[in-house]
Amino acid sequence: MIRSDLTETMERLHPGLLGAMEPALSPPLYDRSGRSKVVHIGVGAFHRAHQAFYFDRLLRAGQRGWTIVGASLRTPKSGNQLNPQSGLYTLKEIDGENTKHTVIGSVREVIDAFENADKLIEAIASPSTQLVTLTITEKGYCLDPSKGELNLDHPDVRRDLDNPKHPVSAPGFLVAGLAKRKASNGPGLTILSCDNLPGNGELTERAILSFAEKLDSKLVDWIEANVSFPSSMVDRITPATPPAALETLSSEFGILDEALVETEPFHQWVIEDWFAGERPPLDQVGVQFTDNVAGWEKAKLRMLNGAHSAIAYLGGLSELNFVHNVVNAPPFENYINHLWNELETTVPLIEGFEPANYRRDLLGRFSNRALRHQIYQIAMDGSQKLPQRLIEPFVERLANARQSPAIALAIAAWMRWQFAQTLNGTAYEVQDPLASELSQIVSYPETDAQAIVSGFTKTAVFAGIGQAHVDTFVEHVTLALKHIMGHPAIHTQADIAQLLQFRF
């Protein structure tokens, strides 16, 4: 909540302030008018720190039209933050004492698609739209997480297939927009997923085509001929904005910005070079276009996100609360290095990717204490994240006769997380689309680690393991889960060291 005296006394950020704005806020002084070439679904903190930041750079470099019409599918929150500010917001890059402010101008407006579905469908169909970008989180694709295919039994998908003109899901909106674009003989379009899923372009394409197939085979042909789905690797650590950050900005600059986002200085975007619409010249502002994005995706999903999830569950069970607390605890630094030794063997060779430097930089990024990145935020939706981050590398190593105690410990920690109680007995809520199914598994007799692990392996989360490896998987993860379940409360660094001291 923002303090009410601020909302009453401070002037809300709006375009009229830009002309006289302090240079320290780097106001966007370019032309924001005209039709937008980009539609973006999911205008949360990550989009504002990443894609919208790159498009702002492009506009500052003099490229016209690459403004963004945003849309939110579920809640009016981002529209309420951004629309009264005509889409303007401050991006604050922070690391230690260093801070850099930029008022971003690339977002023009946010459509509340829950209330106004037609407006988003029209924006996708509009001939001026060249690119639709997505940050809808892993669960927004309505996939079966183990198969990577559209889950036709997903309640939102079923609802949208019965009601294709009034969708609620992202696949439903995309297909409705494409159907309208086809009906008006619109030009080609690029749909670019920016979520942390491997082969995110291919997954999106398959999901859209299988949705469209249920409605109209001619639409499938049109999509195949006119729409491209490049994969992309996106990276920038961006926590949810704490309310205190709004107060700091108000006291420093005298403006109220309800859409403020704090992020780290680092940013990276690698995009597969496959565009059906006009290609934004993002290479001018640091984006890498490539024919082979898969290697980069794997490297980032396993080394960064895999370590993030391990930090979240093991650190969460130890009540360390923030990522920087976890990596600054010496036993954890040691554990993360073991984890990376294991994960690194599953990352392909990529030109420009130096594992040793990448690991060093990651440790530096994780220890950014100014970011105050809550591990609870990373722990959310684990059922959608674990397969690509930790389970696949574990199984790939098993196939090469390699054991992975550090990965096993992280997977077991995720299972222990479903108990909804830390090792010290503090209760929390597990936020996950499968939370209720998962909570039934941990209500097995609590002492029976093997029954719990076997129960989990029967869920969709673990369906990718394959018959050949399931027994070894259960055996190894059971040992790790027993180790965690037998662990006493955490009071000291020595307790943490003991928790992380796990070998087969």
Q: Minimum Å distance from CB 205 to ligand CS2?
A: 22
Q: In sequence order, which residues have a C-beta less than 8 Å from that of residue 80 and are 6 or more positions away?
A: 258
Q: Which of residues 383-442 bind ligand CS2 (CB under 6 A)?
A: 385
Q: Contact with ligand CS2 (CB under 6 A): which of 48, 154, 206, 236?
A: 236
Binding status of residue 345 toward ligand CS2 by CB under 6 A: no
Q: Does 197 contact ligand CS2 by CB under 6 A?
A: no
Q: Which one of 237, 347, 442, 474 is in contact with ligand CS2 (CB under 6 A)?
A: 237
**Spatial CA neighbour of 422 closest among 333, 336, 314:** 314
Q: 47 vs 308, which CB is nearer to ligand CS2?
A: 308
Residues 6 or more apart whose CB falls under 8 angstroms from that of 116 comprise none
Helix 493-500 to helix 330-344 angle (10° resolution) is: 20
Stretch that binds ligand CS2, among 229-237, 279-287, 390-398, 407-415 (CB under 6 A): 229-237
Nearer to ligand CS2, 154 or 308 (CB): 308
Q: Which is nearer to ligand CS2, 59 or 237 (CB)?
A: 237
Residue 235 or 432: which CB sits closer to ligand CS2?
A: 235
Instruction: Check binding of 235 to ligand CS2 (CB under 6 A).
Output: yes
Shortest CB 235 distance to ligand CS2, Å: 4
Sign, CA dihedral 287-289-295-301, equals positive
With contact defined as beta carbons under 8 Å apart, do 89 and 260 qualify?
yes
- Interface residue with ligand CS2 among 135, 196, 231, 384 (CB under 6 A) is 196
Minimum separation from the CB atom of position 359 to ligand CS2 (A)? 15
Site membership for ligand CS2, residue 305 (CB under 6 A)? yes
Q: Is 343 in the site for ligand CS2 (CB under 6 A)?
A: no
Listed ranges 182-190, 201-209, 232-240, 278-286: which one lies at the site for ligand CS2 (CB under 6 A): 232-240
Minimum distance from residue 294 beta carbon to ligand CS2 (Å):
17
The CA distance from 90 to 110, in Å, is 16
Q: 67 near 129, Cβ under 8 Å? A: no
Which residue in the set 7, 210, 377, 498 belongs to the binding site for ligand CS2 (CB under 6 A)? 377
Residues 496, 489: Cα–Cα separation, whole Å: 9
Pick from 209, 378, 484, 499: which binds ligand CS2 (CB under 6 A)? 378
Question: Where is 11: in which H helix or E strand?
Answer: strand 11-12
The size of the chain, in residues, is 504
Q: Name the burial class of residue 60, with classes exposed (0-12), middle (13-18) and buried (19+) by CB atoms within 10 angstroms of its CB.
A: middle
SS3 content of the chain, % helix, strand, coil (to 5): 50, 15, 35
Binding residues vs ligand CS2 (CB under 6 A): 196, 235-237, 305, 308, 377-378, 385
